[in-house]
C-alpha cells in the first residue's frame, strides 16, 4: 500500500493538481477518518474540476486579447444610453453563442461600445467559450501578413474554432477586396455555427458603403445581420465624462 507522500506524487505525475490540493488539505483534518470513500473521491473530483475550470478560464482570458478588462456588472444601462438592464440580462448568459447569433454594436466614439463588447467577451471566457478580440486595423494587417507568409489557411482555421469573435473599430480603416473576401469567408464559416460581435462608429445603414463592393457587401451583411442583436448605444462620451470627474 502506498503512503500519503506517494499518493501526492502519483497525483502530481498524472497532473491532477486540483486533487493534490484537496487531498493535502483533507488528510490534515482531524475528522478525515469520518469521511467515506465516496465523500473523499467526490471532494477530490470536485476540486479537480474546479481547478481545471479555473485554469481554462485564465487561458481563455489570456488568449482572447480583450482590449478592456471590463465586466458586465460595470456596464451602464439607461434609457439615455438606449440600452436596458433587460437587454444586458438577455446577453449575460451567453446563450447567443449557443444559438450562434451575432451582435452588432454601433454608436458614437467613447460611448462604451468596446467596453460592452469586451465585457461580453470576458463573460464568454468565464462560461467556457473560446474568445478572440481583433481591432480592425490589426485584423486587416493580420490578413495581409498571413497572405504573405503562407499562413492564411491556418489563420482561417484558427478563427473557425473560436466560439466568439469580436471585431472592433469596424469602418475606421480602408479595406480592399482581399479583406472583403476574407471577411465573407470567415462569416460563411461561422454562419449558424459560431458567434461574432462587430463594433462600429458607423450606423448600420452605412456599412454597405464602407464595404464597397455591392455584391460582397450584400453577402457579408446577410450573414452578419440575420437574427442578430442590434445595439445602438447613445449618450455622451464616457471617456470625456470620466476625464471631467478626474479633473
Q: What is the pLDDT of residues 217-232, one digit of tens each?
A: 999 999 998 889 999 9
**Whether residue 57 sits in one domain with residue 75:** no
Question: What's the rounded Cα separation, in Å, for the pair 22 and 36?
Answer: 15
SS3 128: coil
**Whether residue 177 sits in one domain with residue 241:** yes
Number of domains in the chain: 2
Place of cell 463594433: 199
- What are the CA-CA distances from residue 231 to residues 80, 84, 98, 104 (Å)? 13, 10, 19, 6
Q: What is the pLDDT of residues 172-230, one digit of tens each?
A: 999 999 999 999 999 999 999 999 999 999 999 999 999 998 999 999 999 998 889 99
Share of the chain above pLDDT 70, in %: 83
pTM higher than 0.85, yes or no?
no
Q: What is the pLDDT of residues 115-134, one digit of tens each?
A: 999 999 999 999 999 999 99
**Whether residue 116 sits in one domain with residue 43:** no
Mean pLDDT of 51-71: 91
**Whether residue 79 sits in one domain with residue 50:** no
Q: Which of 63, 78, 104 is the last residue of a domain?
A: 63
pLDDT category of residue 12 using cuts at 50, 70 and 90: confident
Q: Which domain holds residue 26?
A: 4-63
Q: Is the predicted pLDDT of residue 244 greater than 80, yes or no? A: no
CATH number of domain containing 123: 3.40.50.300
**Whether residue 104 sits in one domain with residue 221:** yes
Amino acid at each position: 500500500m502506498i503512503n500519503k507522500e506517494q499518493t501526492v506524487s502519483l497525483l502530481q505525475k498524472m497532473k491532477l493538481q486540483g486533487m493534490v490540493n484537496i487531498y493535502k488539505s483533507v488528510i490534515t483534518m482531524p475528522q478525515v477518518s469520518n469521511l467515506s470513500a465516496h465523500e473523499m473521491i467526490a471532494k477530490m473530483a470536485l476540486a479537480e474540476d474546479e481547478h481545471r475550470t479555473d485554469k481554462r478560464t485564465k487561458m481563455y482570458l489570456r488568449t482572447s486579447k480583450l482590449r478592456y478588462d471590463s465586466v458586465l456588472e460595470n456596464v451602464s444601462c439607461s434609457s439615455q444610453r438606449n440600452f436596458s438592464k433587460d437587454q444586458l440580462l438577455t446577453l449575460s448568459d451567453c446563450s447567443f453563442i449557443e444559438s450562434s447569433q451575432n451582435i452588432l454594436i454601433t454608436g458614437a466614439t467613447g460611448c462604451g461600445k468596446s467596453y460592452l463588447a469586451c465585457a461580453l467577451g470576458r463573460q464568454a471566457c468565464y462560461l467556457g467559450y473560446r474568445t478572440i478580440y481583433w481591432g480592425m486595423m490589426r485584423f486587416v494587417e493580420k490578413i495581409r501578413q498571413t497572405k504573405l507568409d503562407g499562413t492564411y489557411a491556418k489563420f482561417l482555421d484558427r478563427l473557425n474554432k473560436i466560439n466568439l469573435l469580436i471585431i472592433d473599430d469596424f469602418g475606421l480603416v480602408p479595406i480592399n477586396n482581399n479583406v472583403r473576401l476574407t471577411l465573407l469567408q470567415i462569416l460563411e464559416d461561422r454562419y449558424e455555427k459560431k458567434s461574432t460581435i462587430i463594433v462600429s462608429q458607423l450606423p448600420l445603414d452605412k456599412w454597405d458603403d464602407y464595404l464597397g463592393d455591392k455584391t460582397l457587401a450584400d453577402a457579408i451583411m446577410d450573414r452578419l445581420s440575420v437574427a442578430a442583436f442590434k445595439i445602438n448605444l447613445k449618450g455622451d462620451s464616457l471617456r470625456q465624462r470620466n476625464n471631467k470627474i478626474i479633473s
